[in-house]
Amino acid sequence: MQQKSLDEFYRMFKTERHEVTDKAPEVNRIENEEVSKEPLKQIEEEIAPRNLPPSYLVSADYDGARGVVYLKLYEPNSQRIYFWYDNTGHKPYLLTNIPAEDLKKLDRIANHPSLDHFEVIEKYDALHDRMITVTKVVAKDPLAIGGKPKGSMREIIPDDYASTFGKIGEAKVWEAAIKYYQCYIFDRELQPGMLYKIEDGELRPYRHEETEKNIRKIVEGLAKEGEKDFLPYMEDWARLLEYPAPKMRRVALDIEVYSPIATRVPDPEEASQPVICASLVDSEGKKRVLLLRRPGVEEGDMNLPSDVSVEFYASERDLIQVIFSALDNYPFVITFNGDDFDLNYLYHRAKNLGFARSDVPIYRDQNTCSLRYGIHIDLYRFFLNRSIQVYAFGQKYRNATLDEIARAILGKSKIELTKSPSELSYGELARYCLNDAELTLELTSYNDDLVMKLLMALTRISRMPMEDVSRQGVSKWIRNFIYYEHRRRNILIPNSEDIISVKGMTVTRARIKGKKYMGAIVVKPIPGVHFNVAVMDFQSLYPSIIKVYNLGYQTVRCPHEECRDNIVPETTHWICKKHRALESALIGSLRDLRVKWYKPKAKDKTLSSEQRNWYNVIQSALKVILNASYGVFGAEIFDLYCPPAAEATAAIGRSIITQTIDKARKLGIEVIYGDTDSLFLKNPTPEQIKMLSEWAERALGMELEVDKYYRYAVLSSRKKNYLGVLEDGSVDVKGLTGKKRHIPLFIKRYFDKIEDILSHVKTPAEFEAAKREIERTIRECYMKLKNREWGDINDLAFEVVLGKMPEAYDKTTPQHVKAAFLLRAKGIEIKAGDTIRFVKVVKEPFVKPVQLATPKEIDVDKYVSYLRSTFDQILDALNLEFDEIIGLTRLEQFM
Partner DNA sequence: ATCTATGGCAAGCCGA
Partner DNA sequence: TCGGCTTGCCAT
Containing 724, the helix (H) or strand (E) segment is strand 722-726
CB of 800 to DNA, least distance (A): 4
Contact status: 708 vs DNA (CB under 7 A): no
Contact status: 287 vs DNA (CB under 7 A): no
Name residues whose C-beta falls within 8 Å of residue 210's C-beta, 6 or more positions apart in sequence.
none
Containing 186, the helix (H) or strand (E) segment is helix 180-187
Candidate ranges 291-299, 354-362, 385-393, 426-434; the one touching DNA (CB under 7 A): 385-393
Contact status: 810 vs DNA (CB under 7 A): yes
Contact status: 573 vs DNA (CB under 7 A): no
116 within 8 A of 139, measured Cβ to Cβ: yes
Number of Cβ atoms within 10 Å of the Cβ of 513: 6
CB of 426 to DNA, least distance (A): 37
Contact status: 504 vs DNA (CB under 7 A): no
Contact status: 869 vs DNA (CB under 7 A): yes
Candidate ranges 7-15, 48-56, 730-738, 784-792; the one touching DNA (CB under 7 A): 730-738
645 within 8 A of 551, measured Cβ to Cβ: yes
CB closer to DNA, 304 vs 384: 384
CB closer to DNA, 136 vs 868: 868
CB closer to DNA, 285 vs 394: 394
Contact status: 804 vs DNA (CB under 7 A): yes
Candidate ranges 15-23, 35-43, 108-116, 804-812; the one touching DNA (CB under 7 A): 804-812
742 CA to centre of own chain: 24
731 within 8 A of 713, measured Cβ to Cβ: no
CB closer to DNA, 25 vs 814: 814
Sole binder of DNA in the list 204, 603, 720, 776 (CB under 7 A): 720
Q: What is the spatial distance between Cα 454 and Cα 590, in angstroms, rounded to a whole number?
A: 16
CB of 390 to DNA, least distance (A): 6
Candidate ranges 132-140, 514-522, 579-587, 691-699; the one touching DNA (CB under 7 A): 514-522
CB closer to DNA, 455 vs 646: 646
Contact status: 678 vs DNA (CB under 7 A): yes
DSSP collapsed to 3 states, 520-532: CCEECCCCEEEEE
Burial code of 570-597, b = ≥16 C-beta within 10 A, e = fewer? bbebbbbeebbbbbbbbbbbbbbbbbbb
Contact status: 742 vs DNA (CB under 7 A): yes
Sole binder of DNA in the list 862, 864, 880, 881 (CB under 7 A): 862
839 within 8 A of 795, measured Cβ to Cβ: no
Q: What is the spatial distance between Cα 647 and Cα 518, in angstroms, rounded to a whole number?
A: 7
Task: Give which of 479, 506, 507 is closest to 494, Cα–Cα.
Answer: 479
Report 92-111 residues binding DNA (CB under 7 A): none
Contact status: 733 vs DNA (CB under 7 A): yes
Residues in the interface with DNA (CB under 7 A) total 77
Candidate ranges 79-87, 113-121, 372-380, 672-680; the one touching DNA (CB under 7 A): 672-680
Contact status: 870 vs DNA (CB under 7 A): yes
CB of 714 to DNA, least distance (A): 14
Containing 292, the helix (H) or strand (E) segment is strand 287-292
Contact status: 114 vs DNA (CB under 7 A): no
Q: What is the spatial distance between Cα 833 and Cα 401, in angstroms, rounded to a whole number?
A: 11
Q: What is the spatial distance between Cα 443 and Cα 416, in angstroms, rounded to a whole number?
A: 19
CA distances to 125, 129, 132, 175, 345 from 491, in Å: 6, 10, 10, 11, 44
Report 549-568 residues binding DNA (CB under 7 A): none
CB of 862 to DNA, least distance (A): 7
Sole binder of DNA in the list 117, 130, 488, 515 (CB under 7 A): 515
9 within 8 A of 372, measured Cβ to Cβ: yes
Q: Nearest-5° angle of CA 222, CA 457, CA 591? A: 35
CB closer to DNA, 490 vs 869: 869
CB closer to DNA, 14 vs 739: 739
Number of Cβ atoms within 10 Å of the Cβ of 806: 20
712 within 8 A of 532, measured Cβ to Cβ: yes
Contact status: 803 vs DNA (CB under 7 A): yes
Sole binder of DNA in the list 840, 849, 878, 886 (CB under 7 A): 840
CB of 148 to DNA, least distance (A): 12
CB of 215 to DNA, least distance (A): 30
Task: Give which of 46, 50, 47, 74 is closest to 60, Cα–Cα.
Answer: 74
Q: What is the spatial distance between Cα 178 and Cα 483, in angstroms, rounded to a whole number?
A: 10
Contact status: 839 vs DNA (CB under 7 A): no
Sole binder of DNA in the list 519, 588, 644, 744 (CB under 7 A): 519
Contact status: 390 vs DNA (CB under 7 A): yes
CB of 397 to DNA, least distance (A): 11
Sole binder of DNA in the list 288, 372, 453, 471 (CB under 7 A): 471
493 within 8 A of 486, measured Cβ to Cβ: yes
Contact status: 650 vs DNA (CB under 7 A): yes
Report 359-378 residues binding DNA (CB under 7 A): 366-368
CA distances to 142, 192, 634 from 151, in Å: 12, 32, 33
Sole binder of DNA in the list 740, 749, 776, 779 (CB under 7 A): 740
Contact status: 735 vs DNA (CB under 7 A): yes
> Residue 823 in 3-state DSSP?
helix
Q: What is the spatial distance between Cα 29 and Cα 14, in angstroms, rounded to a whole number?
A: 12
Q: What is the spatial distance between Cα 505 and Cα 510, in angstroms, rounded to a whole number?
A: 13
215 within 8 A of 239, measured Cβ to Cβ: yes
Contact status: 831 vs DNA (CB under 7 A): no
Candidate ranges 47-55, 765-773, 777-785, 810-818; the one touching DNA (CB under 7 A): 810-818
CB of 886 to DNA, least distance (A): 16
Contact status: 873 vs DNA (CB under 7 A): yes
Report 782-801 residues binding DNA (CB under 7 A): 799-801
Q: What is the spatial distance between Cα 516 and Cα 506, in angstroms, rounded to a whole number?
A: 7
Sole binder of DNA in the list 224, 760, 846, 854 (CB under 7 A): 846
Burial code of 47-85, b = ≥16 C-beta within 10 A, e = fewer? bbbeebebbbbbbbbbbeeeebbbbbbbbbeebbbbbbe
530 within 8 A of 669, measured Cβ to Cβ: no
Task: Give which of 253, 294, 256, 292 is closest to 417, Cα–Cα.
Answer: 256
Task: Give which of 574, 572, 575, 576 is closest to 507, Cα–Cα.
Answer: 572
Contact status: 459 vs DNA (CB under 7 A): no
CB closer to DNA, 311 vs 795: 795
Sole binder of DNA in the list 10, 184, 347, 517 (CB under 7 A): 517
CB closer to DNA, 330 vs 517: 517
Candidate ranges 272-280, 582-590, 748-756, 838-846; the one touching DNA (CB under 7 A): 838-846
Contact status: 396 vs DNA (CB under 7 A): no
Candidate ranges 10-18, 471-479, 613-621, 695-703; the one touching DNA (CB under 7 A): 471-479
Q: Nearest-5° angle of CA 267, CA 269, CA 271? A: 65
CB closer to DNA, 429 vs 713: 713
Candidate ranges 114-122, 254-262, 424-432, 735-743; the one touching DNA (CB under 7 A): 735-743
Report 587-646 residues binding DNA (CB under 7 A): 627-628, 630-632, 634-638, 646
DSSP collapsed to 3 states, 519-572: CCCEECCCCEEEEEEEEEEECCHHHHHHHHCCCCCCCECCCCHHHCCCECCCCC
Candidate ranges 214-222, 605-613, 822-830, 864-872; the one touching DNA (CB under 7 A): 864-872
